[in-house]
A = this chain, B = another copy of it.
């Protein structure tokens, strides 16, 4: 199909498609004339995937490109693809002589990092040093301490146990796909796209419970249908 048809099929405007082609997010079509190319179903699929990561999930073009490159290059190594989608780049044996210093040396250690690692150890999670989620957790723990809230790393353990169950579901989502490329894409979907869904589910559950616990005689404009 022509680029105009590709745009019609996916709802993405042609100038934006051309931008994704220039940036290498979308592989080039099969050239049919000096200034024309033919696109296939793979392009439709890839373009929808791009729009999900950028549009629905709010990733930057460069982060999206990094993930797409990882899917193509590392599709045989799901741990790598998953790691890149999580913002981690697990060390590979054959890349040990790489030039990048570990993330730990780049940024100053945030307050709360020791407590974050206590929680991680308690949960038995083996994570790479550069996992930015440990720093996020550290920041939240530091902020809670700063505010005098009596929630420390032990107070987050019940949340950690539920997060562990969620990750079990996530890994279970990956077992269905046979095709390596589809499996790699699925890893990204689960890692990246389910994040907003999960927060949304918690907020919906919270509102329901908040109404029951604190709403008293003011049920508001509620609907469950």
A: residues with CB less than 8 A from B are 45, 48-49, 52, 56, 77-79, 82-83, 86-88, 90-93, 102, 117, 120-121, 123-131, 133-134, 136-137, 139-141, 143-144, 146-151, 156, 158-160, 162-171, 173-174, 176, 185-186, 189, 191, 193-216, 218-225
Which residues of chain B are near A117, meaning CB under 8 Å?
Answer: 225
What DSSP secondary structure best describes chain A's contact surface? Answer: helix
19 contacts across the A-B interface (CB closer than 8 A): A48-B146, A79-B214, A86-B203, A87-B203, A93-B218, A124-B224, A126-B211, A126-B219, A131-B203, A131-B207, A134-B200, A134-B204, A140-B200, A143-B193, A147-B189, A159-B194, A163-B198, A198-B199, A198-B202
Bound-complex Cα distance A164 to B160 (A): 15
